[in-house]
Each structure stands twice: as structure tokens, then as C-alpha cells.
Amino acid sequence: MAEYPSIVLTNAGLDMIAESQAGQSLIFTKLKIGDGLLGTGESISTLNALKSPKLDIPIQGFLNQGNGQVRLRYLVDNSGVPVNQGFFAREVGIYAKIGEPGTERLYAYTNGGNKVDWIPDRNTPMDAQIFDIFVLIGNASNVTVVINGSATYATVLDVKEHNENENAHGELITKHNADQHAHAELFRLWQSHKAYIVGDVCRPRSFTYPSWIFLECIQGGISDVFEPPWPAVGEEVTDGTVRWRVRDIKSGGGVPIGTVMPFLATQPQPGWLALDTGAMVGRDTYPQLWAWVQQYGPLISEAEWQAQAAVQSSVGYYSSGDGSTTFRLPRLVDYQRGGLAAEVGQWQGDAIRNITGTFQARVSPLEPTGVFSSTGANQSFNTGTTNYIGPVTFDPSNVVPTAEENRPKTIKFLYCVKAFDAVTDQGLLNSTALANEVAGKVNLTDFIGTNQSLTANGWQKLPGGLIMQWGQSAALGENVSATLTLPISFPNAALGGVVSGTGTNAQTVATITNITQTQVTVYSDGITGTITAAPIRYLVWGY
């Protein structure tokens, strides 16, 4: 905050007071602000003008205190500061004149040195500031001001003072009921050299940015002296020691990243990703969501995620993907319920409350009811030692609808997670549609890296779990077999395979006689005559 010493009358100001006491009119005309510095030993009393004037400010209000002082009110903004000519508001000067035809002169002056604020150019709008300056007028009785009516309006302080004046007419503005009608200011403009904390929001000062853009503080600190250029929606920028993320209020920017919501829609909305398949997505593609997952989300390894997916219809966790470039989304296709923080993401299988009942087995006729029935309810027979009643069946479907799961009456929704702030570049690319399309595809990392070996005896793992393996034997003559070890073992089972001969004799026949999880046996045969020894190639598959 700026600090200025007391304002000092200049020699010209003292002369004007003397002239006004002689009966002439003292007229205050304007305020000037500049960035000049006083020289060593330089006296304010001898100044005739500002050292380096930058901005003229009209008088907003005037009040004669009746004690030899007047209060001059000014409303300072930067609408008149030329582009690229921002400045430090070091010096403040009050100008006045004697009589209407008089010459405007510097009446009083103060200089804050380096304890002042920066005034940016008009491309970076600033909040208007109200300044009240009290100056001496001595015994001058005829004091007036020049007020430019086209640039003047009532400030909050003016209205308050008017309403509190017992001699004033009815209140100019009726105060809102704070509990029912008052509106909180949603976003303040960005301010230079200001302390911000995580979660603070503000608006860019420049008029060049759309009205729906706002800034979210994601790392607390002190903002820079100059406003930084703001990047695209969803991107981040460093401002002094503050870190901001640019957000978009019209596309759900007020919804925090990581929020999960049900949509009555067949595809995700802009900025959201569907949670119906457990898609693998890129960390660089969705940096906001990945940052949220690391800080707040239930996160497990990819192996743990796949183990749950193999036995559960839903997986309530994110996975770390390949550990460097990807991560996997949850798969939510079951009912959700509340739980403890330590239980978030845990899956529960279905269950029902126990159903019990009784019947009198040796009574005839049996007459079962409800979930009990009997095809021989009215038949009884005796084995000589025991009386028997026909068989009794327990079947709840006699009473209630049944299915393979327990559920209430249901309408299905598409669960989605807020992943990023949506942006559409008209005429070029709908980045939201592209991101959602990519989220439903198999990631390239599911094919490459440790999932393949493209050699003469190699393999390829597919995302769905299928594994293809290939290789070849040594040269085999007629009626010779060879058992070959596969490049890798099938974790579960071998499903099938094919072979082909490589010799020049067209009568060569190659067959597979056995495939296991670790080996394949090939056989070289000849229909007629002796064949030339040659390798046999194989291709097998399993999972």
C-alpha cells in the first residue's frame, strides 16, 4: 500500500490563500499524478509544477470543513493512461487558480518516493480508488471547485454521507437487505504484488480476455508487479510466486476437477470423461485430472486394477497406468453408496437379507404358501415306519420378481468425471470431442514396450489379454518332429496355432501335434519321395 507524507503548500499556494483573503475567489481545478522524484535538498515550496506529470484527475467532490481546511475528493483509475506507459504514482499535486480568468498553478504537493503503487496502462484495467485530500485554505471565505459533470458520479461514500446527513432529503439509494437480496462480488480483478492463497479466484484485468475467463490460484504466493499474459483455458502460468490455472466459467469451470456426476446422456459433456469402461488415458492429455488423482483420488497400481476388474463388474479406483505416461479411469456400472474415507473405492458384491420359513411336513394335505410349493402336497404314503408328504420347493419367484442381481427400480445413468475445462476452437478443432474420442480408445502403450518383442522368435500382447507368439524350428527332414520352447509362457492357456513349411519341395506338409502354455511341437512330413530339410514356422495364440 502506498505511503505519502503530509501534503505541503507551495509558495504559489500561500500566495493564493492571501489573495483569497483579500476577497478574490479561490478555485481548485484538478489533481495531477506523476512519477518524478525530488532531488536531494529540493524544496516543495518552490515547485511550480510536477517533476514528471503523467495523469490528470478531475475533482469528484468538495467539502468545506469550516476549520480552515477543505476536503477534495478524487476518483483515480487508469482509463487515461496511454498504452505501454504505466508508471509509479510517486508525486501528487493539487492545482488551483484565483478567479475565473486566473492562471492555474501548483497549490500543494507531496511525494511518496518509492513507497507507492504501480499504475498500469489502460489495457490492464484497475479498480477505481477514492482519495480524500485535506488542504489548508486559511480564512478564505470564497472557495469553489471546478467539477467536470460529464466525468463525475456519486461514489458509495457520497451516498453514505448524503443519507447520514440529517438535513438531506430521502435516501438516494436504499440499502439492500444483506440476507435476502445483496449479491457478493464473484470475481475481483487481478492485482499486482498481492498475496494470494490456494483457491483464490480473480479476473484478468485486460479487456482483451473474454468475460467468461477466470483465474484459479493453485499455488499461493505474491503476484508480480506486471500482469502476465494469460494462456489458454486449462493451462497454467507462473505470476511472481503465485501459480494460476485459467478456467472457463461457462463450460462448468465452477465444478472442481475430479467431480463425479451421473448424466442422463449417451456421451460425456465437454470437459468430462465417461467412467463406463475404465479407459486408459494420457497424463499429459489430462494433466488437471492426473494432478487431482495424485492428491485426492483412490489410486492403485495397474496390476491391482486389472485383478479387481477380472472378478468385479465395477472398479472404484484409478490406476497408475504404465507408471510414467498414462493412468486408468475407474469403471462405474454398479450402484454407489456412502462410506468412510478409508473405504472409498472399495467394491462390494451383491447380497440379500436371509429368507426363512417353516411348514408342517407330516400334515396332509400340506397346503404350502408363499415361497413354498409342492407338486405332491396332497399325496401321502407310508413306508411302514414313517409317513411322508410329497416334495416341497422353495422358490422366491412365486412372490417377488427375480433376476441375476438385487436391485431397486432403476434408470441407468452415465457416470462421468470432470477432467478439464472445455475449449472449442471454432472452425479448427473441437478439442473436447477429440479428447473424449481418445479416452475410449486403446492406448498405444498397451501394444509397445514390454508388451511385444518383434524378433524372429517373438510375441505381441494385445490389450484384451490375447497373446500372439511366433518362431521357427531348425531344419527338419522328412517325418521328423521338434518340440520348441515358446518365447514366453501363456499365463492361462494356449488356444490354437498354425504352421507352414519353408522348404522348396511343394509336397512338404507341416503340422502341429501339441501346444502347451510353454511349448509347441511341430512335425515335418512328405507326401511322396524325400523332402529337403527346412525349418518350420509356427504362429500360436493364447492368453
Residue reference for cell 522348404: 503
What DSSP letter does each residue of 503-535 carry, written as one string? Answer: SS-TTEEEEEEEE-SSEEEEEEEESSSPPPPB-
Residue 68: its pLDDT value, please?
81
| Burial environment of residue 529 by CB neighbours within 10 A (0 to 12, 13 to 18, 19 or more) | exposed
Element holding 542 (H helix, E strand): strand 536-542
Least-confidence region, from 244-253, 266-275, 330-339: 244-253
Contacts of 231 (CB under 8 A, 6+ apart): 237, 246
Tell me, what DSSP letter sits at residue 321?
A: T
| Burial environment of residue 522 by CB neighbours within 10 A (0 to 12, 13 to 18, 19 or more) | buried
What's the rounded mean pLDDT across residues 128-137? Answer: 82
- Among 415, 444, 38, which Cα is nearest to 263's? 415
Contact 510, 523 (CB under 8 A): yes
Residue 49: its pLDDT value, please?
94
Assess whether pLDDT exceeds 60 at residue 24. Answer: yes
Assess whether pLDDT exceeds 90 at residue 541. Answer: yes
Residue 426: its pLDDT value, please?
40
The most confident of 22-31, 87-96, 359-368, by mean pLDDT: 87-96
Region of 345 (left: φ > 0; alpha: ψ -120 to 50; beta: rest) is left
Cα separation values, 11 from 7, 46, 212, 241, Å: 13, 6, 53, 46
Contact 269, 416 (CB under 8 A): yes
Residue reference for cell 475449449: 423
Contact 2, 119 (CB under 8 A): no
Contacts of 257 (CB under 8 A, 6+ apart): 288, 289, 291, 292, 418, 419, 420
What single letter denotes the amino acid at residue 363?
V
Mapping DSSP onto H, E and C, the string for 161-225 reads HHHHCCCCCCCCCCCCCCCCCCCCCCCEECCCCCEECCCCEEECCCCCCCCCEEEEEEECEECCC
**Between 114 and 366, the higher pLDDT residue:** 114
Contacts of 269 (CB under 8 A, 6+ apart): 252, 263, 416, 422
Residue 34: its pLDDT value, please?
93
All 3 cell numbers of residue 503? Answer: 522348404
Beta bridge partners of 381: 388
CA distance linking residue 487 with residue 469, whole number of Å: 7
Least-confidence region, from 19-28, 417-426, 468-477: 417-426
For domain 449-542, which CATH number applies: 1.10.3720.10, 3.40.50.2300, 2.60.40.1190, 2.60.40.3940? 2.60.40.3940
All 3 cell numbers of residue 182? Answer: 445483496
* pLDDT tens figures, 378-406: 455 555 555 555 667 777 787 888 777 77
Assess whether pLDDT exceeds 80 at residue 363. Answer: no
Residue 203 binned pLDDT confidence (cut-offs 50, 70, 90): confident
What's the rounded mean pLDDT across residues 517-521? Answer: 92
Domain ranges within the chain, ordered by starting residue: 8-152, 188-251, 262-350, 352-404, 449-542
Percent of the chain with pLDDT over 90: 27
Beta bridge partners of 61: 73
User: pTM, whole model, 2 decimals?
Assistant: 0.41
What's the rounded mean pLDDT across residues 195-219? Answer: 83
All 3 cell numbers of residue 492? Answer: 492361462
* pLDDT tens figures, 422-431: 654 443 344 5
Pairing, β 508-515 against β 452-453: unpaired
Least-confidence region, from 36-50, 96-110, 415-429: 415-429
CA distance linking residue 503 with residue 509, whole number of Å: 10
